[in-house]
Structure formats: C-alpha cells, structure tokens
Amino acid sequence: MGGLTCALALAQEGFKNIDVYESASDLGFVGAGIQLAPNMARVLDRLGVWKGIEAEAVNIEETSVRVGATDSELAHVPLQYIKDTYGYPHMVGHRSSLSNGLYQGCLRYPNIKFHFSTSAADVDSFGPRPSFTATPRDSSQAPYRVEADVLLGADGIKSNTRVAMMEKLGIQTGVKDTNQAAYRIMIHKDQIKDDPELLALINGTKVTRWIGEKRHIIAYPVSNNTIYNLSTVQPDTNFAAATNATYTTRGSKKTMLEVFGDFCPMVQRMLSYVPEGEVCEWKLRVHEPLETWTHESTALVGDACHPTLPHLAQGAAQAIEDGAVIAIALSLLPDTTPASIAKALKVYEKVRKERAYALVELAAASGRALHLGDGAAKEERDKQFAALKKGNGPVPDKWADADVQKIIYGFDCQLETREKFNEYFA
C-alpha cells in the first residue's frame, strides 16, 4: 500500500522516472477485508482513486462491541457523524479493491514502471545515489544493480531496507513479541443464504466486535455486501517457537473452532462456514520504534518502519499517509541536491514519525483493554462500557472513540506537510 501510494503521489507531483520493484508476481490479492478510514480516503481522493474504491466498499453506519461468549452488547456507537465531521464516511472494503484502485491510478502515469517478480535487496548505498540489487525471479535473467536519486523502502514488515539501513547506522533494532496471531476469513453470501441471522449481518452496515479474554473477532461486510469479512485475534501458539521470518501459516479449522469454542453459537456457526483447508493464520508482529526512518536519500515507508497491531485498523492508512507526505515534501524541494533530498526526507519523518508511533501505542493499548480477563481492570473497563450505554464516557474499543477518531481522522497529513515544510526544512 505504501509503495503504490508513493508511486502515485510522486507521479501526481510531476516526478518523471518512478520505478516500483515488487517481489510478488502481482499485487498479492490477499483475501481479506480492510477498513478504509477517513484519513485514508482523504488521501486517496486527492490522488484521484477514491471514487472507484468507494464504489465497491460498504459505508459503515454503526459499530457494536459484544461479549463473545453471550453476544450481549457492551457498546453501540453510531458512526454516521463521521462523514459530516471529517468529509469522508468510515468505509470498509476488500484489500484487493484498495490495492487495485491504487494500481489502476498508477497505470494512468506512463512514467511509473512496474517490475513485478523482482526482489530488491543488498542496498549498498543510501546516498547520494542510493543503490540496490534487483533480482528477477526468472532465473534466466541476471540480477542487476539499480541506482536512483531517492530510494523508498516500502517493503513491508520484513523490510530488507530497514535491516540494511539500521546495520549501516549501527542501530540495534528489536522485534517486540505481541504474542498475538490472527485468522482472516471471508464468507461469501451464497454460503449463508439459508442463515437469516448471518444474512442480516452481511446485508447490514455495521462493524461488530466480539470480545473475550485474550481474543476478539471483528467482522463487517465488504464488496458491496456480498462477502462477510472476519478478522480474529488470539494468543499466538503456532508461531511462538518459529523464526522471525515466519508470518503466515495454514491453520487448522478444528483448532480455530477450539480457540473460539466458548464464543456464542452464532460466532461458532460463522467460523464453521470456512472451508477446510482455507484457514490462514497470521503472526501479528511489531518492532521496537526506530530512531530514524531515513538515511541520506533513502527512507522507510509503512510497515517497514511502523508495523501496527490491527486493533485500530490504521496500518495501511498510515502507510498511505507516508506516501502522500513524502511526495509533497520532495515536491517542495528548492533544489535537487542530495543534501536537500535528505532534508526533505527528514521533513517526512518529522510530520509522520511521532504520529505513527502514537497510533502504534494506541492500537496496542486498545488490544490490551479488549482482551482483559476477569479482574479489577476488566471491571473498570466494563464500567466504561456501562457508562457509555447511558450516553457518556470514552469507548474502550479505541477505534470507535470520538476523541481518538478526532486525532486520527482529523489530521490532514498533506496540509500539515505543506504548512510545516519551511519550518522543518530549515
């Protein structure tokens, strides 16, 4: 998401030679839903790709937080106010719709060149002319060296660019174990045509979160209400002993049903619709915050520098903010010397780093509150839910809290970059 946004935003700013190296053979259409928060929509709209993505998405009008075991409602939060307040509604969509929308936007610019099935590795210079080795998957093609004016490492949570940059700078970086993993599940409407309860959910405009100790499930309809998307979080057992390089694995349906075995019958029914052999489990990994996101004319983007737990539904939105900010910062350069490029990338870091890491923390904190087991902290949380039912107080599920939404959705990263450029560049 970050790489596509960088390419599109840079092209829109008039940059002429943009090359995107992607190790996968295509955009990797992971079967998963994604929340399209207003701060993401605002950027996408300005990049001219929001209309197409919006047309396939579902406008979320409300959210319900429920006890997993009993399905009783802890909180109901109307979300229609979001469009009037932030200019865009809170929508949810298919991940492929988002990446394809960005990709189609890129295709409008012939100066963006895609190199699929080509891995970028071995960064041997970060500036003044950053360079790396591009290795085509097709072994009949030899690896070749690429040199650029600016290198943006949007290579995800396993980022080679981050590792190389931190090694070069002698900065120790640590992986923080979250002890959490996630199943991502999609149920198609025809699978549940005889299940009125689930049909009501798929036809609705609601995000539902069922919570329990150390676990939750968040679910919403996507793709014009034809698919019901579920994303779970549970203690990581499969990956606990695995190396850092392991992120996804084929899960067992039996285990998944056992993990949520004490959730209510409707949730269990939902999970049982997943075809055997199609259970995919993701390790939720994060890192310690990095001291720097840039070195000379090279910058890190998205999960490469701020992997975020999904509990705030902001990881991709933040990667998209990164791309938009980088393009504006580079477009405002008074000259194109390597020294100025390095300073512009620092402007990007100044606009983005503190905000991104604040959201990383907030997402982790929200997860902790949602996953509480019996005890004083849970009693306190449930008092907040009870107060909310009477009409006041914060929402312990932070993505649904109006004050948190103000921080996240009310921030216009592009405007901020333009307004602060001279101050930060100086």
Ligand X SMILES: Cc1cc2nc3c(=O)[nH]c(=O)nc-3n(C[C@H](O)[C@H](O)[C@H](O)COP(=O)(O)OP(=O)(O)OC[C@H]3O[C@@H](n4cnc5c(N)ncnc54)[C@H](O)[C@@H]3O)c2cc1C
Q: Which residues bind ligand X (CB under 6 A)?
A: 1-3, 21-24, 28, 34-35, 119-121, 154-156, 160, 182, 184, 231, 282, 284, 302-304, 310, 313-317, 319
Nearer to ligand X, 42 or 421 (CB): 42
Rounded (5°) CA angle 26-27-29:
110
Give least dist CB 393 to ligand X, A.
Answer: 25
Nearer to ligand X, 24 or 107 (CB): 24
Give least dist CB 32 to ligand X, A.
Answer: 7
Query: SS3 of 411, please?
Result: coil
Distance between CA 282 and CA 158 in Å, rounded? Answer: 13
Structure tokens at 124: 């041997």
Nearer to ligand X, 145 or 389 (CB): 145
Distance between CA 94 and CA 96 in Å, rounded? Answer: 5
Nearer to ligand X, 317 or 388 (CB): 317
Give least dist CB 383 to ligand X, A.
Answer: 28
Nearer to ligand X, 131 or 384 (CB): 131
Q: Which amino acid is at 75?
A: A
Q: How many helices (H) and strands (E) does the chain have?
A: 14, 19
Percentage helix, strand, coil for the chain under 3-state DSSP, each rounded to 5: 40, 25, 35
Residues β-bridged to residue 219: 208, 230
Give least dist CB 280 to ligand X, A.
Answer: 10
**Cβ neighbours of 149 (radius 10 Å):** 15
Nearer to ligand X, 127 or 156 (CB): 156
Distance between CA 19 and CA 356 in Å, rounded? Answer: 26
**What are the E-state strand segments in 27-169?**
33-36, 58-59, 62-67, 73-78, 91-94, 112-115, 118-125, 131-136, 144-147, 151-153
Give least dist CB 219 to ligand X, A.
Answer: 12
DSSP 356-375: HHHHHHHHHHHHHHHT--SS
Unique residue bearing structure tokens 């932030």: 86
Residue 340 makes CB contacts below 8 A (sequence gap 6+) with 333, 334
The answer to whether the peptide bond before residue 143 is cis (omega within 30 degrees of 0) is no
In this structure, are residues 299 and 292 in contact, taking their beta carbons and an 8 Å threshold? no
In this structure, are residues 327 and 9 in contact, taking their beta carbons and an 8 Å threshold? yes
Distance between CA 24 and CA 13 in Å, rounded? Answer: 27
Give least dist CB 331 to ligand X, A.
Answer: 21
Give least dist CB 198 to ligand X, A.
Answer: 21
Distance between CA 256 and CA 252 in Å, rounded? Answer: 6
Give least dist CB 290 to ligand X, A.
Answer: 14
Give least dist CB 160 to ligand X, A.
Answer: 5
Give least dist CB 155 to ligand X, A.
Answer: 4
Structure tokens at 165: 């940059």
Nearer to ligand X, 118 or 417 (CB): 118
Nearer to ligand X, 247 or 273 (CB): 247
Nearer to ligand X, 136 or 393 (CB): 136
The two beta strands, 280-287 and 248-250, are antiparallel
Nearer to ligand X, 1 or 344 (CB): 1
